Amino acid sequence: MAIKVKLVKSFSGSSEEILSSIRGLGLKKFGDERILKDTPSVRGIVFKVKHLVSSENVSQEAPAPKRRKPRKIAIRDRARAKAAKG
């Protein structure tokens, strides 16, 4: 099970606490949608910002978050690839 969350109202003028909750859900702009795991912590965040978002339960699984390399490592790898190429 997962929860589909959509930002349906603008968050301008909101407190810093509300802004960090919206960022924690992965929403950046008006109309953004995310499918998140149905956990108590996610439900709590959604409850906190329920006046700005719409949520619904969906049967599909939430996608796994993509792992990114640390910035230092990514730059090093790009430099090595460039050096090997040219």
* CATH code, domain carrying 73: 3.30.1390.20
User: Cα Rg for the chain, rounded, in angstroms?
Assistant: 18
Cα torsion for 74, 22, 2, 51, to the nearest 10°? Answer: -170
Predicted pLDDT at 12 = 92
CB distance 8 to 45 below 8 Å: no
Of the pLDDT bands very low, low, confident and very high (cuts 50, 70, 90), residue 7 is very high
Which amino acid does the sequence have at 82? K
* Structural domain range at position 50: 2-85
Question: What pLDDT digit, counting tens, does each position of 18-75 carry?
Answer: 999 999 999 999 999 999 999 999 999 999 999 999 999 999 888 887 888 999 999 9
Structure-block tokens of residue 86: 């040219």
Instruction: Report the C-alpha gap between 10 and 14 in whole angstroms.
Output: 9
- In the chain, how many domains are there? 1
Evaluate if pTM is beyond 0.75.
no
